[in-house]
Amino acid sequence: MSTAIATKTESPVYVGDIFHGSFGYDMTINCFWEVTRVSPSGKTVWVRELKSECSPEDPRSGAMRCRAVITGDDRFKGPEVRKRVHTDCETPWFRAESFMLARRLDNEHLLDGFYENHMD
């Protein structure tokens, strides 16, 4: 009797899900997207980039804590774009840019925010 080992688990994506990506080395920038539409197959989504709010953690170092703006009609900062969704380790993701992957956020990370630093 053989046992199959699953390397990927499908995890559905829904309208309203928030995705996060970041880039940089010395300088770290965060980006957020909200799912606005999902194809019938669930393999393609349309997303819009969200604005973010940052609050200083340490003014001397330039370190900030950034969170996505998730309410209000003016929360978007970009047009709707189409992305192909992949699932790895039960977490949906898409390639936001050639240099950045965006992964779906859970509520804890959405509220806690992410480290950002503009000191290059």
In the chain, where are the structural domains located? 18-117
Q: Which pLDDT does position 1 carry in this prediction?
A: 43
Give the DSSP H/E element, type plus range, for residue 109: helix 107-112
Is the pLDDT at 3 greater than 50? The verdict is: no
Percentage of the chain surpassing pLDDT 70? 84
**pLDDT band per the 50, 70, 90 thresholds, residue 60:** low
pTM of the predicted model as reported, rounded to 2 decimal places: 0.83
What CA–CA distances, in Å, run from 95 to 14, 30, 44? Answer: 17, 14, 12
